[in-house]
Structure 1
Amino acid sequence: MGRVSIEKLRHSLLLVIEKHSPLRTALKYDQNEECLMQTIKPMTFGHDLYKFQISKIRSREELENILFDEETNETYFDLANGIVFRCHIIRMMSEIDDDDDLAASSARMNDYILFNFHHVAFDGYSTELFQDELHLAYSNDTLDFERSLQYIDYAQHEKQLDMTKAEEFWKHLLDGFEIDKHLELPYDRRPSTTQRSGYGSSVNFEFDRELVENILAYADEVHVSVFQLALTCYYIFLLNLSNGENDLCFGNIHANRYRPELHSIIGMFVNLLPYRMKLDPTWSFEHTLLQVQNLCLQVLENSHLPYQKIVQLNHHQSKIVNHLPFMPTVFRFDSINTSNEQIQLDDATIYPLSLYHTNHHTDQQNVSKFDLLFSVEYHHINKIMKCSIDYSTDLFDQKTIKTMCDRFCVMLQQLFGSSSLNSATLKQTPICELSILLPYEINLL
């Protein structure tokens, strides 16, 4: 409960911005040097270092519109002047509220505090770091500024890395593959061009506890990570979903914090990596898992090569002239090590608001960066596993994606469900024989 002092919050945000320089870094393209120049803005109080806004609303629909606007409005950021962060307090007004109450000095219960970051300065891993730093700044009115490494140091170090070995690895991995090729998915409207409206939606589902326990037990038994096991299941699912397409390649969002010193720095480290594998449909599940594990270890060893350079190495394999290929299909795995996602500010608690559950009135109130993004979220402490499929509404209808989710769950139940008495045998059978047919489809056979 409690209230959040707006003045104290704004001061705390300045402390966080001062400590983490990416939140006040300007980006400009130098035409003479043909490179992107980074300039860290000094902490000159009185000058804009971030944007701050207070709005008042009276309905859930207004909240949804604001959230969608925050997600899509490019004018809220100014990269050339280092404005890459904004704080938006959204006050939920009641019938008895006076408009003058908007000038109140604190955010109260049922108000919303939205922190919006440009992706150039902030990745998903940075979220928990920001929450911790804001809590410390608000509680202690100061932060520890003794740091061994800054983001700019990492950027300079990355430029000096010898990328020869990594370049050879990615050349070999993607040799002969059309990197902009589309998977044979059950499209409702086939992609004829690379242009997308940007509109999308999502479908979310959660595995039951017994299934999660069986998945974790199997991963522990065969000494693989949950990520490697989930990735294997996704490969096999795509093999069967795409009618036997066995040369599969999709993107994976990689945290890219390969050194311990990088774990405490707010910034944009994420790298999109293409995971290509030629599956043999006659492989068993267990053999496929070993092949995927080996691929993951090799990719991890060479994950520091930026995606743009990986694409450039294989640009000749693109059929699209003067177009930077991208991975239209992406797999994402998030490992959550804490059950406490809220921010404690003195006696006030800020709870997270999931964007996935705010927009129900239309199928086009989300943004889709990819044609298809399959996400798995594993919570270590609670032993919970959630999945979501974000999709472009240019290509898919919601009904198709829901069916895709059901098919994935059917396959997992065969492998790890308690009702599958022969699950051990299934793990030895060819992966092409794993069924993704739904119960009513089986009855029609």
Structure 2
Amino acid sequence: MSAELRRRGERTAPASAGQERLWLIEETSGGSATYNVPVFLAWRERIDVAALASALEFVVERHEALRTAYELRDGRLLQTVLDPRTPPIEVIDADSAEAVRAEAERRGREPFDLAKGTVLRCVVWRGSPGCDALLLVVHHIAVDGWSLQPLLDDLAVAYDAALEGKRPPADELPLQYADFAVWDRAMAQAPEIRRAVEERADHLVEFSRALVLDGCTRNPAADEGSRPGRQRDFPIPPEVSARVGHLSLSLRATPFVLWFAAVQAALYRWSGRREFLVGAVTANRNHPELEPLIGFFVNTVPLRCAVDPDWSFAELCRKARTEAYRSLSHQKLPFDQLTTAVNARRGTGRSSLVDVGFVHQAPPTGHTRWAPPVELPTETAKFDLMVIVNEVGDDLTVTVEYDTDRYSDEACGRLGETLVALLTAAVGDPDRPLTEFLGEPPAVQGREATSTPAPRKRESAPLTREQRRAAELFVAVLSDGGRRVGVGAADELTADADFFVLGGHSLLAVSMLAEAERRYGVELSPRVFLTDPTVAGLAEALTSAEARRDAPMPAVDDGPLPATSAQQRFWLLDRMPWLRPAYLSPTVVELAGDTDREALRRAVDTVLARHPALRSRFSLDRKERRVHYRTDGPPAVTTVTAAPADPRAHLAEICTTPFDLAKEAPVRADIMCLDGRTVLALVPHHIVVDGWSAQVLLDQIAAAYRRDGDLAEPVHPAAVAEPVDADRVGAVVERLRGAPLDPSLPHDRPRGELQSTSAATVSVFLGEERLRRLREVAVGELGCSTFVIAAALMGAALARGGGGRDFLLAFPWSGRDSTGAADAVGMFVNTLVVRVDLTGEPTWRELLARVRDDAKAAYRDATAPYDAVVETLHPTRDLGRPPLTPLYVTSAKEPDLSVPFARHLAPDPLFIKYELELTALERGDDLELELAYATALFDERTAHGLLDAMVAAAADLSDDPDSQP
């Protein structure tokens, strides 16, 4: 992107696209309260008005959006930041609580004069029963839902300081709203955004017919403006709320996805429509610098809804998860541009793209000085209907806001009651078909008929039954993913049609396997599919999965149990002191906002005690010459460290101190309390966890901290471990034979007698445009995954540096193919090897095909024990280097962090197991290449040079795939 989000310090700037839409509605509706945000605070004490005035002055000075005026000049809406000033505070003697509330609602509906910059008002009621009360009314052009928490937090800090006669401590904000508005306008005009809008409009137009529910008194209007509205609350019963978190975990769905699915089902129930759009109101704060800002950032993201009444709620959730992930990746696209583009395609005068809005939010929390804030109704509506899900601690409430000119209170009540009943039924049995608790949809007058599938074309080469099912999965997922397959039906695909050649990528492959699970009740391993990503390959995988679907999970006691092949290796490596730190797997996270550290400690201890792997103790059976373990040892206990003298040294000690695997629990956890910050270090030994396990642990700790229902039942790793297959070793050895085991690398220093694992990292982004071109060739034409691309780029960069033309790269495989393995904590990873062979002067196309085919072979032989492969190919290695290859490569998607975690912190010091480790990390529409290097062997300059060579190779590949690497 050409636009840069940075501090500009300008007093006059264009309004953002979202602000312009609100301003236009305000101007055309004659002072409506549609976009007033009245927040009512019942104080627990008497308000010091002078301190309150000082606090408001500080907040307005700190956040420019609260002192900004709006003016139409030469056809452009401009915002001008005014000088700081204290908002006037009106003080009123209170009567009864009912009178105060009624007066607050009336004042909350009074209009603003945006031209004068009066976007904030304040009223105090003295002597209200239970103490004083405060009303803050802000115009939506200056705040969104996210803004309320920083507004109230800053107000509280400033008020406390004012009572003490002090100025509140506050860091200068890195950005102000006007900086965002300049960037937002530039982004909206960027060619890549324009292209993305046109592409997205193509995907939305067939879903964009007006959505009319039973009870609608008249058709939706052709324009937007002030709408009379009302709200009704539908509390979720406590016994249901307590189980929602467990339901989310069991369905592997976020709360947003869970509610999105429920809203779809309820809308289907009262509209009869199976395909329609819902507008999700999203925070749209994709840069960390925007998080503490007050301002209007939200965007409306159209979500495509597809409901089949024969699905279960669980099946609908899986579909909703795919759609939410896909659609929310487009949240940067301006809603107005999307609306215009879709209208151009459907040729209607109707301006609204969505008729029903959906918001999932956590309202601002209370404070020691006031009760939880209440956002008062304004008797207006922003959509025909809007469903708002509020989560306040363990309490859940559904609010339905409706346009009273279009819907009756009875119609609103039916929708809300259906949502409550649906969620109640879902937490009881998410596998029940929707038809059992939704009933038959009414015949809604004016409802457009649902689309019918196009007639099938005559088959030129009939597929088998299994292949037809696989082809239908291809078409469903690729079409839904916005990459239209060049066929009208599954019958037009041949048995050898390749998923990646048809436009798929690794994330869509995962979506397709989830769809297979939804349709056919089987869990498919990505490894199995990647081995043969064709219609025939998927058909074979479906058949095999169904054959083993009903096999019972074996019962496992606490042992002694034989260690796996990988655990045997890690136990041996733990005997080598110079390697021990590299086989610890620290995860360090900083928590967001105020943290209940005692609740966090309890949550961590609860999770550490649940998983059998984390209670393991290892010992060597000398007679059998084999390592065994038991899982009945006492669990680890979290330590809490308050303000260590040297936080960095303390964290380093936590993350690098070895374990006594025979006597200690193989995990430790420490909560470090710093000034205003809380850091959790979770440090297990690699012998009992892998990267997947680390995410499971973080998710469960977050759920336990939030008390989101019951945690998933723990799984013993021995019950789901995939058995190794020594018979596959020969195939692996034959595939790798002849490749150099010690390639010439650009070492700045020679290896020592013992391998050094101390490391550092450098990284670079490819850039969105370059990545797009790269994917067109590598993914679209050749069917290569991100992993294959990364491996080829690494090999090409090393070859250009004179390091030979043939390389072996180690990479991990999850090893979680068994039913139930997804939620297990354990060490399941096996090490595989891919060959990157540049001999014989191949073109880029030929090189990628070689790496792709070799990776498929590696997936096919993934059950071959790595130790046996090493012993056959490299029996005489010295202790100064890793076995078989010093090179490692992997690809991943940017991990999601559950609330309450804010961000990952890099372990310091860093240790690696190889000499060079490349990670290709998918971050939205960009790809980050991160290279970890052994500092005993390489200088930072050399590592940067290798990354630069990879970027240059990526440019050459995307520009001319027929050239030579």
Shorter-normalised TM-score: what interval?
Answer: 0.7 to 0.9
Distance 1:55 1:383 in 2: 35
Q: 1:90 to 1:135 in 2, by over 3 A?
A: same
Indicate the residue corresponding to 1:416 in structure 2.
427
Q: What letter corresponds to residue 436 of structure 1 in structure 2?
A: L
Residues 213-232 of structure 1: pairs in structure 2 closer than 5 A: 213-232=242-261
Indicate the residue corresponding to 2:201 in structure 1.
171
Indicate the residue corresponding to 1:102 in structure 2.
none
Residues 369-388 of structure 1: pairs in structure 2 closer than 5 A: 369-379=382-392, 382-388=393-399
Distance 1:93 1:425 in 2: 50
Deviation at 1:67, TM superposition (A): 2.6
Distance 1:54 1:125 in 2: 28
Larger Rg: 2
Deviation at 1:388, TM superposition (A): 1.3
Counterpart of 1:187 (choices 212, 215, 227) is 215
Q: 1:425 to 1:133 in 2, by over 3 A?
A: closer
Deviation at 1:65, TM superposition (A): 4.2
Helix, strand or coil: the match of 1:373?
strand
Helix, strand or coil: the match of 2:230?
strand
Indicate the residue corresponding to 1:100 in structure 2.
none
Please say if residues 125 and 134 of structure 2, whose CA atoms lie closer than 8 Å, have aligned partners that are also in contact.
Answer: yes
Deviation at 1:235, TM superposition (A): 0.8
Residues 4-23 of structure 1: pairs in structure 2 closer than 5 A: 4-23=47-66
Counterpart of 2:288 (choices 236, 260, 268) is 260
Q: 1:397 to 1:146 in 2, by over 3 A?
A: same
Indicate the residue corresponding to 1:137 in structure 2.
158
Distance 1:303 1:82 in 2: 29
Helix, strand or coil: the match of 1:435?
helix
Please say if residues 71 and 367 of structure 1, whose CA atoms lie closer than 8 Å, have aligned partners that are also in contact.
Answer: no
Please say if residues 232 and 400 of structure 2, whose CA atoms lie closer than 8 Å, have aligned partners that are also in contact.
Answer: yes
Percent identical pairs in the alignment equals 24
Deviation at 1:242, TM superposition (A): 1.5
TM-score, with structure 2 as normaliser: 0.38
Deviation at 1:236, TM superposition (A): 1.6
Indicate the residue corresponding to 1:310 in structure 2.
338
Counterpart of 1:83 (choices 81, 105, 118) is 118
Indicate the residue corresponding to 2:139 in structure 1.
118
Q: 1:308 to 1:70 in 2, by over 3 A?
A: farther
Structure 1: gaps spanning 5 or more residues? 95-108, 360-364, 418-422, 439-445
Residues 65-76 of structure 1: pairs in structure 2 closer than 5 A: 65-74=102-111
Indicate the residue corresponding to 1:55 in structure 2.
92
In the alignment, does 2:92 pair up with 1:24? no
Helix, strand or coil: the match of 1:367?
coil
Please say if residues 97 and 128 of structure 2, whose CA atoms lie closer than 8 Å, have aligned partners that are also in contact.
Answer: no
1:168-191 Cα distance to aligned partner (Å, 9 max, x none): 442133123445x1x231215233
Aligned alpha-carbon RMSD (Å): 2.8
Aligned residues: 387
Indicate the residue corresponding to 1:240 in structure 2.
269
Deviation at 1:299, TM superposition (A): 2.0
In the alignment, does 2:297 pair up with 1:286? no
Q: 1:222 to 1:353 in 2, by over 3 A?
A: closer
Structure 2: gaps spanning 5 or more residues? 1-43, 162-166, 441-965
Please say if residues 45 and 132 of structure 2, whose CA atoms lie closer than 8 Å, have aligned partners that are also in contact.
Answer: no
Deviation at 1:401, TM superposition (A): 2.5
Deviation at 1:254, TM superposition (A): 0.7
In the alignment, does 2:82 pair up with 1:41? yes
Indicate the residue corresponding to 1:441 in structure 2.
none
Indicate the residue corresponding to 2:411 in structure 1.
400
Helix, strand or coil: the match of 1:227?
helix
Q: 1:312 to 1:184 in 2, by over 3 A?
A: closer
Helix, strand or coil: the match of 1:4?
coil
Q: 1:36 to 1:318 in 2, by over 3 A?
A: farther
Q: Structure 1 stretch 267-276 or stretch 118-127: which is displaced more? A: 267-276
Please say if residues 234 and 398 of structure 2, whose CA atoms lie closer than 8 Å, have aligned partners that are also in contact.
Answer: yes
Q: 1:2 to 1:112 in 2, by over 3 A?
A: closer
Deviation at 1:64, TM superposition (A): 4.3
Deviation at 1:138, TM superposition (A): 1.5
Deviation at 1:366, TM superposition (A): 2.6
Deviation at 1:226, TM superposition (A): 0.8
Deviation at 1:17, TM superposition (A): 0.6
Please say if residues 212 and 219 of structure 2, whose CA atoms lie closer than 8 Å, have aligned partners that are also in contact.
Answer: no
1:261-293 Cα distance to aligned partner (Å, 9 max, x none): 211111111112221233344444333322211
Indicate the residue corresponding to 2:733 in structure 1.
none
Please say if residues 314 and 431 of structure 2, whose CA atoms lie closer than 8 Å, have aligned partners that are also in contact.
Answer: no
Q: What letter corresponds to residue 73 of structure 2 in structure 1?
A: D
Deviation at 1:252, TM superposition (A): 1.3
Indicate the residue corresponding to 2:361 in structure 1.
334
Q: 1:69 to 1:416 in 2, by over 3 A?
A: same
Helix, strand or coil: the match of 2:291?
helix
Q: What letter corresponds to residue 153 of structure 1 in structure 2?
A: D
Distance 1:218 1:6 in 2: 47
In the alignment, does 2:302 pair up with 1:274? yes
